Amino acid sequence: MLRPLVYLHDSELVARFQRRCGLFLAPNGTPVRTDEPRGRWDHQDTNSNYNHKENGCAVSTCSRPQYEVRNWLLHVLFLFSAGLGHELFYITCLPCIHWNLDPFLCRRLVNMWTLVMYIGQVMKDLLKLPRPLSPPVVKLEMRVDAEYGLPSTHAMAATAISFTVLLSAPSRIQFQFEVGLLIALTLSSLVCLSRLYTGMHSVLDVICGALISAILLFLTFPYWEAFDRFQLTSPFSPIAALSLLFLLSYTYPELDRYTTTRGDTTTILGASAGCSVGYWVNQQLGQTFEPQGSLPVPLPTLTAQSLALGTARYLVGVAALLGTRQVAKTLSLQVLYSWYGVPKNDKSARRRREIEVPYKFVTYTTVGLVNSILVNRAFILLGLL
């Protein structure tokens, strides 16, 4: 039984996939061919743990071999697919479903995304299975290299997002289910394969991530309607969302070294808490911004005017969320640094639990509230709805 698991977790299996896709490590001391496109690992994120041992050597002192890209089409495709699991995608693209399609679908998405991501992040830090080794693997995302590998939360999120929309949309929007199934399979598969291409996960990590997400979808699907009713109508809903999700953030498993998982998990839980409270507030105010008419409604016709309005809503909404994030982050850090007597230029203090968890939770709860309550009302004032 262990043999297949060891094989699927083997770094060489990932390296072979990369080579098949045209991504090669350049030999040490050998310059990259000038007639080939090339790249170098030269980015360090201040939130990453570059001083701890990872894969047998200190990350900050390990040489970062150059690599050759021989298939730029696949390179761009997989890097784009990997981006579908990053914060920038979540904060800019997922809210578009709320602004341009149906807040109901966005609410379902946020709920399932939060559940699978929390379980996935906690499993990583409890199981503590390493990521693929480099060499032989080329690693293209150094920010999360100090994190553990199994399961792949990119694979979990992609599966949950794709199939939550597929399962929820038929009651809301008229579309051909087979086409939706094909799109869901394609998007989730691309994200899963991108984790192998970027060298951040083994085949076992990816398979386990997709399977765990599928199991969670299967187990929770019968209770989605009941949870919707509680979330929107119960007077305890906002209190439960804020207190429970903050508690989960603060009690996140402590590791013997710093990784970005606690901060990333707090970001997700904070955004979910803000959105949950916002949806409850909208329900109490009687303005939920859902499609009018008898459900399921036809898919909106794509015209030049609707495309222009959608683009305008996207730009205004993203500007609002990014501006909110910056203001809330700055203010919360100033308050916490002052409260704990930390010098303002001490950026390493952001890794302390008593600072990292509150500032990220407050920041992204505020972002979630603005997304779910204020952005659509701004659209009305600007004539974009």
Catalytic residues: 154, 201
Surface-to-core class of residue 40, CB atoms within 10 Å of its CB (0-12 exposed, 13-18 middle, 19+ buried): exposed
Cα separation, 46 vs 42, in Å, equals 13
In the chain, where do the E strands start and end?
23-25, 38-39, 53-54, 57-58, 67-69, 173-174, 297-298
Query: Long-range contacts made by residues 53-58, C-beta under 8 angstroms, separation at least 24?
Result: 54/130, 54/131, 54/145, 54/146, 55/130, 55/131, 55/133, 55/134, 56/133
Give the number of C-alpha atoms closer than 13 A to the C-alpha of residue 214, restricted to the C-beta side.
10
Taking the C-alpha atoms of residue 186 and residue 181, their distance in angstroms, rounded to an integer, is: 9
In this structure, which amino acid lies at residue 289? F
Least Cα distance to 109 among 88, 86, 124, 93 occurs for: 93
Q: Are strands 173-174 and 297-298 parallel, antiparallel or unpaired?
A: parallel
In this structure, the number of other CB atoms found within 10 A of the CB of residue 76 comes to 11
Sequence letter at residue 237: S
Place of tokens 């009941």: 226
